[in-house]
């Protein structure tokens, strides 16, 4: 959908500006912290909860946590927001709103192809739901421009220090 591409560019901009940041990559987390989780609704919810906890700890330490993960359920995103709010640290929900057709055309890991072929089940947007945000802090769409432009829009949301 472009989540990682925008997060990578935002990370570069933050580093250039001397801002401490860390990108919590979903694949890396799935191989380490969350390696015990599968892709059931319960496991997806727990994945988001754990990542939100790590992001909150980082934010509490003054590090901008970038979290380009699939967070398919509204309740999980609201829980993450509430967790940050309770800790008094910023939280910004950025919705990278990419049409399913474009996600399938890009498909860098071949997951959509495998899901359509019946080789993979539980694929978000195919046979598992994605609950789009109703009120994100920022909505990005492909027509917004390149990754740098989108990253600059996200950067504009962040507090200056």
Active site residues: 71
Cα separation, 122 vs 72, in Å, equals 11
**Distance from first CA to last CA of the chain, Å, rounded?**
29
Helices 147-157 and 3-16: angle between axes, nearest 10 degrees: 60
Tell how far CA 160 is from the center of its chain.
22
- The Cα 153–Cα 108 span in angstroms is 25
How many Cα atoms sit within 13 Å of 95 on the Cβ side? 16
């Amino acid at each position: 959908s472009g989540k990682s591409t925008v997060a990578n560019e935002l990370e570069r901009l933050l580093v250039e500006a001397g801002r401490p940041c860390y990108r919590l990559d979903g694949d890396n987390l799935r191989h380490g912290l969350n390696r015990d989780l599968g892709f059931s609704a319960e496991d997806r919810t727990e994945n988001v909860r754990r990542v939100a906890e790590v992001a909150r700890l980082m934010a509490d330490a003054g590090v901008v946590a970038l979290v380009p993960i699939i967070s398919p359920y509204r309740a999980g995103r609201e829980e993450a927001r509430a967790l940050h709010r309770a800790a008094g640290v910023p939280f910004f929900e950025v919705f990278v709103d990419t049409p399913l057709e474009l996600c399938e055309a890009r498909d860098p890991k071949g997951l959509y192809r495998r899901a359509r072929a019946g080789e993979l089940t539980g694929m978000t947007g195919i046979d598992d739901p994605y609950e789009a945000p109703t009120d994100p802090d920022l909505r990005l769409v492909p027509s917004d421009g390149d990754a740098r432009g989108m990253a600059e829009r996200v950067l504009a949301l962040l507090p200056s220090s």
